[in-house]
Structure 1
Amino acid sequence: MGHPVLAGVDGSAHSSVAADWAAREAALRGVPLRLIHASPPLPGTAVPLPAVDRLRHMGERILQRAVADLSEHYPDLEIRGEQADDAPASALLAAARTAGLLVVGTRGTGGFGGLAVGSVALRMAMAAPCPVVLVPRRPDGAFGEATHAGRDAAQMVVGFDAHHPVGEAADFAFSAAEARGARLRVVQAWTFPAESVSSSTLAVTEEDRATWEDQEVLQLSDALRAWQEKYPQVTVRPDVVLLHPAEALLNTSRGAELLVVGRRIDPQAVEGRLGPISHAVLHHARCPVAVVPHLG
């Protein structure tokens, strides 16, 4: 059996939606679901033992409720809950070392009403050693409405750069699309070549634009060939867009089941970080976002 899917729960509505998403993903993968709740004493304070016991008891009840609710909806899924005494971010990062996927809500119980992505979710996206899916809360609590209408309507989106392809993100997206029977929209944003923008150039002709766009389309097609051969069941829609990458991804991900982006790992860095495109996507996407780490 493969590595488990890991989800953080804290009793919030956001974490409940994320845990349900994680359960469906674990069922698709045929792996166990591991739920983590962290309830450490408040830092810098001498918390009385009865208060610590109450915090742990509350955490245990949250875990029991989450396991019971998910077991009712996914009776064949192996689910186990674990209590951690570390801070939420530390507990999840430690558990993620043996997980195949980490799933968190974009927000937890803390923060303020207008906050799009909480500190724990952001830290997971930046530093987790495995792929991370951040799940926003929807008013109806559901994602991928298209899948309920029919499998052919389901769509996933992946950001791709044919000039510097990220194999880990592409492989994650193709594999997820295959498991769901979903179409995969591969988005490549492009800009005019540097030589086309100068003080002597008053306008870009339609002929030049078409030529450059055709070159981008061909390069994307060539770069995707290896994954299309590896995943022949996946219907792929290449999409070359003359937009900023973040805007292109956000526009095309409306109504998608999942949006996949990469995160470069710097072996020399103590703490991970997100690039500007991934950062913008996380704060503005309306669908779940997978952040896939890669070297190079």
Structure 2
Amino acid sequence: MEPVVVLARTDTSETGRAAADWARREAGLRGSPLRAPLRLPLRGPGDVAEGVAVTVGETRAVTLLDTVPGPVVLVPDGYVPGRRRADVVVGVDPCAPAGPALGFAFDSARLRGARLRAVHAWALPPEAAALPFGVPEEDRARWEDHEVQTLSDALRPWRAKHPEVPVLEDVLLLTPAEALLHHGARAALIVVGGPPGSVVRTLLRESGCPVAVVPADGG
């Protein structure tokens, strides 16, 4: 059975109703029971063991991330689902791919019949700063080609495991948060690995679509 979906906080506000609707749809997609409402503070990790916790508010999301063992989904203020929100977007560090986050992202795309956009943010190597006349285009292209190949290699076993999920690989010369937010307007869901560092907090604060944070040992 798929993990239970837990509505960790709800109210009568527009955002609270959007979170409740999102949790109901997610439970329906997964064929899972929906538990609601569960008010914060939580009594302990057992409250949402084996579950996907859905909440509103950056502070509440961070509290859940520090408390529960499974994925936490934040539904942001003003979120409105729509047909343009077609992709599931996942952040990938190809040098240390987060297996639980990738597994959750592939599964979320499969359940929605959606495309998975795998985003890798990269930076120019340190030696680029020492070049007196900027970075030659051929060097930039060579470095970018290497990043593209590294991402492709990291995703290969996941694509083989989930051949039914169409995957678009995207390598961007941006910070990780900027790269993911770049695709937020078309995203039904952004998936990122935890724990909650600066990238996660930026996404929770600035994303216009739901953000799923999956702990390294959960999902």
TM-score of the alignment, normalized to the shorter chain, above 0.5? yes
- CA deviations over 1:267-290 (Å, ceiling 9, x no partner): xxxxxxx11111111100000000
Distance across 2 between alignment mates of 1:19 and 1:92? 22
What SS does the aligned partner of 2:190 have? strand
Task: Indicate if the aligned counterparts of 2:61 and 2:72 stay in contact, CA closer than 8 A.
Answer: no
Give the RMSD, CA atoms, in angstroms: 1.8
1:156 alignment partner in structure 2? 88
- CA deviations over 1:92-118 (Å, ceiling 9, x no partner): 754112x42111122xxxxxxxxxx2x
2:112 alignment partner in structure 1? 180
What SS does the aligned partner of 2:6 have? strand
1:50 alignment partner in structure 2? none
Listed as ranges, the gaps of 5+ residues in structure 2 are none
1:105 alignment partner in structure 2? 56
What TM-score, normalized to structure 2?
0.91
Listed as ranges, the gaps of 5+ residues in structure 1 are 39-87, 107-116, 148-153, 265-273
Task: Indicate if the aligned counterparts of 2:191 and 2:214 stay in contact, CA closer than 8 A.
Answer: yes
Distance across 2 between alignment mates of 1:220 and 1:9? 36
Task: Indicate if the aligned counterparts of 2:76 and 2:204 stay in contact, CA closer than 8 A.
Answer: no
Distance across 2 between alignment mates of 1:89 and 1:160? 31
Distance across 2 between alignment mates of 1:245 and 1:18? 25
Task: Indicate if the aligned counterparts of 1:8 and 1:92 stay in contact, CA closer than 8 A.
Answer: no
Q: Identity of aligned pairs, percent?
A: 44
- CA deviations over 1:38-75 (Å, ceiling 9, x no partner): 3xxxxxxxxxxxxxxxxxxxxxxxxxxxxxxxxxxxxx
Note closer, same or farther for the CA distance 1:131–1:285 as it changes in structure 2 (3 Å cut): same
Task: Indicate if the aligned counterparts of 2:117 and 2:168 stay in contact, CA closer than 8 A.
Answer: yes
Q: How many residues align?
A: 216
Q: Which runs of 4+ in 1 moved over 3 A?
A: 91-94
- CA deviations over 1:126-149 (Å, ceiling 9, x no partner): 4321101000132xx6314336xx
What SS does the aligned partner of 1:156 have? strand
What is the identity, as a one-letter code, of the residue corresponding to 1:207?
Answer: E
1:281 alignment partner in structure 2? 203
Structure number with bigger Rg = 1
Confirm whether residue 145 of structure 1 aligns to residue 67 of structure 2: no
Confirm whether residue 195 of structure 1 aligns to residue 147 of structure 2: no
Question: How far apart are 1:16 and its partner, in Å?
Answer: 1.9
Distance across 2 between alignment mates of 1:9 and 1:281? 19
The equivalent position to 1:255 in structure 2, one of 172, 186, 195, is 186
What SS does the aligned partner of 1:254 have? helix
